[in-house]
Amino acid sequence: MQPLAALASLWSSRRIPMSWLLLTRQPARLAVALAGISFAGILMFMQFGFRDGLFDASVTIHKLFDADLVLLSPRSSSSVSMAGFPRRRLVQTLADPDVAGITPVHWSLLLWRNPQTRATRSLLTLGFEPDDPLFTDPSLAAKSQVLTQRGRVLFDELSRPEFGPVAEWFRQGRQVESEISGKRVRVAGLVALGTSFGADGNLLTSSETYLSLLPDTPPGSIEVGLIRLRPGSDVAAVQRRLQAALPQDVRVYTKQGFINFEMNYWRDSTSIGFIFTLGAAMGFIVGCVIVYQILYSDVSDHLPEYATLMAMGYRLSTLLGVVAREGFFLAILGYLPAYAAGEGLYVLVRNATNLPVGMDTARAVLVFALILVMCMGSAALAMRRLADADPAEIF
């Protein structure tokens, strides 16, 4: 008899999932609510994804540099507006005992002519000494040796297709030639760098070839100076020493500071961040309206039942908890399809634009938190209708 008594006790102490029953009583209304929440979640995923993807894409090249410190002109504002500074400033950094090596880099957007359609389009062109380390990719050292011959370039095979079928033709063994700023160049190899928000394609060449493409470049001028330190060096301390020792016509950044310099430009000096954040806020507001309408209608439709329970002795806090759990269930059920759709749309965007848009834990948690706040906040507003319920007036 003891097992039967324990089972009877467990059955009598069970809690009826009233909030779940209220939600599923009208499947059509539940489907509309979940569709609205999922749409709001998808909108927030896409807006945040585009914003973060564009910021990440703006520093594609920056992350690849083999450098601990970076010299820039204080007149440089972003990768699309780089100013020159004297090359001798970079050479002066070799006086610091912790500096192991330097690489001067020319940086500019130049017009590339599509070898197939003859249309022109700007792409980022980097000029450097082929024997100097440029990127952390060790395979570039061997590829860059072809640049010792004047007029040779390395083309980024991840560039946008608008630059022409350069990579395809080169792999077929064809001789690929085109023009940059009206001067003939030949593709001598391929690299895989990736597009950025400021440039749809990339090109590497030697300093000699670069200066022949831009003959008006001031003698001894460069746009970026890469500094490599000895192992174990205190990067921040060396940065402070160099900044104090060098004239004010250059600024010394850490590699991460160089990345932040670029991202801050697109975040603060353009409307990109505001536009996509506003889009996410609009999705949040739309979701709030939809959830509030669903929960408010549900409470209003079942007001007599709620009033009956209150007359039977149920506390108002217990009934408010029912509405709160409805909001929680809606948040969970609405988030799951939004997450799945966000993953699929990110793949679609990456394949179509080559932008580094992808799901990450921070964004997934952020959108879930917003959906949870959206649903619980709407539930709190709908609770006011329940709090006003008076059994005497209803009956």
Domain hosting 310: range is: 17-57+271-394
Flag whether 203 is in a domain: yes
In a domain, 5, yes or no: no
> Domain check: are 41 and 171 in the same one?
no
- Both 47 and 93 in one domain: the answer is no
Q: How far apart are CA 253 and CA 248, in angstroms?
A: 13
Question: Two tokens at 370?
Answer: 């917003």
Residue 109 · residue 297 · CB < 8 Å: no
In a domain, 262, yes or no: no
Global confidence as pTM: 0.72
Distance CA 376, CA 330 (A): 9
- Residue 162 and residue 125 in contact, taking contact as beta carbons nearer than 8 Å: no
Residues 132 and 232 in one domain: yes
- Which of these three, 218, 249, 280, is where a domain ends? 249
Q: Domain check: are 113 and 245 in the same one?
A: yes
Note whether residue 243 is domain-resident: yes
Residue 69 lies in a domain: no
- Phi-psi group of 159: left, alpha or beta (phi > 0 → left; psi -120 to 50 → alpha; rest → beta): beta
The residues facing 251 across adjacent strands are 72
Whether residue 349 is contained in a domain is answered as yes
Domain match, 108 and 155 both: yes
Asked whether residue 7 is assigned to any structural domain, the reply reads no
Shared domain for 81 and 227, answered yes or no, is yes
Domain co-membership, 36 together with 95: no
Lowest-pLDDT range, 211-225, 286-300, 311-325?
311-325
Q: Which two tokens stand for residue 85?
A: 């500074």
| CA–CA distance, 96 with 305 (Å, rounded to integer) | 81
For the chain, the domain total comes to 2
Q: Tell me, yes or no, whether 215 and 295 share the same domain.
A: no
SS3 386: helix
- Domain end marker among 183, 215, 249: 249
Copy the structure tokens of residue 368.
Answer: 């879930």
Q: Give the pLDDT score at 12.
A: 44
311: its two tokens: 């007359």
Provide the 8-state DSSP code for 135. Answer: B
Residue recorded with tokens 């994804």: 49
Task: Provide the token pair at 185.
Answer: 């160049």
Contact 137, 189 (CB under 8 A): no
Asked if residue 143 is part of any domain, the answer here is yes
Integer Cα distance of 298 and 314 in angstroms? 19
- Residue 144's nearest CA partner among 158, 160, 127, 167 is 127
315-345: per-residue pLDDT in tens?
A: 766 767 777 787 888 888 889 999 999 899 8
Q: Where are the beta strands (DSSP E) in 88-200?
A: 99-113, 120-128, 152-156, 177-180, 183-191
Same domain, 374 and 276: yes
130 and 209 assigned to the same domain: yes
122 and 239 fall within a common domain: yes
CB 163 within 8 A of CB 123: yes
pLDDT in tens, 255-296: 999 999 988 888 777 777 778 788 888 888 888 888 888 777
Q: Do residues 153 and 195 both lie within one domain?
A: yes
Instruction: Return the pLDDT at 293.
Output: 81
Nearest to 54 by CA among 375, 353, 361, 395: 353
> What is the pLDDT confidence band of residue 11, given thresholds at 50, 70 and 90?
very low
